[in-house]
Amino acid sequence: MPSHPLDNSAIASVFEELAELLEFRGENPFRIRAYQNGARAIRDLDEPIANIAEDENRDLASLSGIGKTLAEKIHTLLDTGELPQLNELREAVPEIVIAMSRIPGLGAKKASKLHQELSIKSLDDLAAACREGRIAVLKGFGKKTESSILEGLAIAQAAAERVYWSKADEIAGEIQLHMSQCSAISKMQWAGSYRRGRETVGDLDLLAVAGDRDAAFDHFESFSGRSSTIARGDTKMSIRVGKAFQVDMRLVEPDQFGAALQYFTGSQAHNIHVRRLAKDRGLKINEYGVFRIDDDARVAGATEEDVYAAIGLPVIAPELREDRHEFDWAAKGTLPELIQTSDIQGDLHMHTSATDGQNTIREMADAAIAQGLKYIAITDHSKRVTMAGGLDGERLLAQWKIIDEVRPEYEGRLEILKGIECDILESGGMDLPDEVLVRGDWILASVHYGQKQPRDQITDRILGAIEHPLVDCIAHPTGRILNRRDAYQVDMDAVMQAAKEHGKLLELNANPARLDLNDVHLAAAKRIGIPIVINTDAHSIHGLEVMRFGIKQARRGGLTAADVANTLTYEQFERAFRRF
């Protein structure tokens, strides 16, 4: 039995890695999906799976998404802390091959060939091989592939160093729960880029006040997700979680906590501005407190409120601390009351089993009600997205007929709009004819193909969609996928001006891999006066839960409820934005 039984997250991660390695090797897709579904089911459990496994009156195999095979592997993991099958796959498929396969222009076969023929052992090795021309001369590669690899390397390297905010949030939540059981700790708070809500996070910083420092560090070190201890000192301890993610815990005195929290939350640019304002008042601020310069007397430090008050400002929300507009707002008393998840009343981008979603219209509707929503739009893909089984006009009209039949069941509880995520074609224009689109309630337009076209061409395509009288909103406007694909080249100033001129909305896609628009674009939209719609782009009932990630991003852009269209009641939304 391992010293610390694996928790649900760790077991789910094992099955996710197993699925990834099997997929890499081209194994049976049904087997791969079984592991993916099992991982999802384990993450969704609201009790430790170890408790279920130990209960003689309960059967792991009977749990939804588990089954006999996975149940046996779970018992193995709980008993031994490892899975022989996964160890064998790791030997057969080195981690560097997986990392290379994620680079645009490579893929599994070419990554394996590079590893074998050039003994590539790191992404740095790969970059060197590209620069030296050793890849272009290999059979099946060439100069074009070599250039494509170099372009994609920056994305792959970023992915290896930083995780999505949503993943950091998951780790932080698990550690927070673990540390809350330590009686030695009287106060704790996360800091750093995680607290500010950055899209990706490089590490986690936990600040705490503890009566017994050794007890606090011992408890931190006993976290079940810890893979190794990096360092342990008198006031700071660093551990590694999983393969590479670092988490630091700093212990501070009670009268230093607020100053330390402000200092370690950052950003660096924000803190430089804070220190400049302090100096103008004859003060100095550091992680230990606020002090008078002339006699070093302590002025504040126990709370963030006291720290900011010392320089004549109210507390600034962590998401705004990037030294953009926050100091002007604070000085004028106009800091925005940032949007909260509870402000959202509708979700206007989601997919069903009619294309690449997992659930039916009724299941999505029921889940939306459970989320507290008052209206939704069903927006499956249009026919151009063949990989997702996109809908042609005939199938779309058939789906809309079903929505008409379903609506009475939800009267007074949920409004269901007949929608579509209609592709903007590579040559311009919409993927479905106007005589079909005009019969819908909510038309999203999006770019999925031709993302490497020149800037002017992509911009013209999107402007054409904005000018189209039947289009309501542009979905994920820059097309980026964090750590995997950069935004396509598009003139966002032109897009925003056109949206303003034509009264169209822009989407903030809450999927944690997208978070598109970014915070800078959101701030620009707020300044120009373009309403934003925060949508989940859910492909399952669980996908509706990502709304809070979009809210975090919106807060970084300084958005209030008034800046977001789907905070309106359905009646208000209909009057303001519906085409009829």
Q: What is the CA radius of gyration of the chain?
A: 26
267 preceded by a cis bond (ω within 30 of 0):
yes
Residues 524, 530: Cα–Cα separation, whole Å: 9
Question: Is residue 188 a contact partner of residue 206, using CB atoms and an 8 Å limit?
Answer: yes
Residues 563, 541: Cα–Cα separation, whole Å: 26
Question: Measured at the alpha carbon of residue 176, what is the angle toward residues 174 and 180, in degrees to the nearest 5?
Answer: 125
What's 315's DSSP letter? P
Residues 256, 264: Cα–Cα separation, whole Å: 12
Provide CB contacts within 8 A for 549, sequence distance 6+.
165, 166, 510, 511, 512, 515
Helix (H) / strand (E) element for 60: namely none
Question: Is residue 225 a contact partner of residue 234, using CB atoms and an 8 Å limit?
Answer: no
What is the pairing mode between strands 245-251 and 236-241?
A: antiparallel
Can you give the pLDDT at residue 296?
95
Report CA-CA distances (Å) from 217 to 208, 263, 384.
11, 22, 55
Helix (H) / strand (E) element for 551: namely helix 547-556
What's 7's DSSP letter? -
Report CA-CA distances (Å) from 503 to 4, 445, 466, 535, 577.
57, 15, 9, 18, 8
Residues 421, 229: Cα–Cα separation, whole Å: 47
Q: Which residues pair with 446 in a beta bridge?
A: 423
pTM score, two decimals?
0.78
In the numeric block, the tokens 């009932």 are attached to 541
**Which amino acid belongs to residue 394?**
E
Can you give the pLDDT at residue 45?
67
**Span 490-548, pLDDT tens digits:** 999 899 999 999 999 999 999 999 999 999 899 999 999 999 999 999 999 999 999 99
DSSP alpha helix (H) spans, 180-267? 192-196, 213-221, 257-265
Beta strands in 310-374 (DSSP E): 346-347
Residues 443, 24: Cα–Cα separation, whole Å: 37
Structural domains in the chain, CATH included, are 8-92 (1.10.150.110), 95-161 (1.10.150.20), 163-251 (3.30.460.10), 256-332 (3.30.210.10), 341-577 (3.20.20.140)
Can you give the pLDDT at residue 423?
98
Listing from the earlier edge strand, what are the strands of the sheet with 532-535?
A: 346-347, 375-378, 415-423, 442-446, 473-474, 505-509, 532-535
Question: Is residue 544 a contact partner of residue 538, using CB atoms and an 8 Å limit?
Answer: yes
Residues 364, 351: Cα–Cα separation, whole Å: 9
Residues 66, 274: Cα–Cα separation, whole Å: 52
Can you give the pLDDT at residue 44?
66
Residues 206, 190: Cα–Cα separation, whole Å: 5
**Which amino acid belongs to residue 16?**
E
Can you give the pLDDT at residue 580?
45
Q: Which residues pair with 442 in a beta bridge?
A: 419
Residues 498, 504: Cα–Cα separation, whole Å: 8
Please compute, for residue 145, the number of CA atoms within 13 A of its CA located in the half-sphere on the CB side. Answer: 18
Q: Which residues pair with 416 in a beta bridge?
A: 376
Question: Is residue 91 a contact partner of residue 112, using CB atoms and an 8 Å limit?
Answer: no
CB atoms within 10 A of CB 388: 19
Question: Measured at the alpha carbon of residue 268, what is the angle toward residues 262 and 273, in degrees to the nearest 5?
Answer: 80
Can you give the pLDDT at residue 1?
45
> First CA to last CA across the chain, in angstroms?
65
Residues 297, 494: Cα–Cα separation, whole Å: 53
Walk along the chain (580 residues) in steps of 10 and give the mean pLDDT of each run: 64 88 83 87 76 89 88 92 89 83 75 86 88 88 84 68 91 97 97 97 97 97 92 94 88 98 95 96 97 96 98 98 93 97 98 95 98 98 92 98 97 97 97 97 97 95 98 97 88 94 97 95 94 97 97 98 98 82
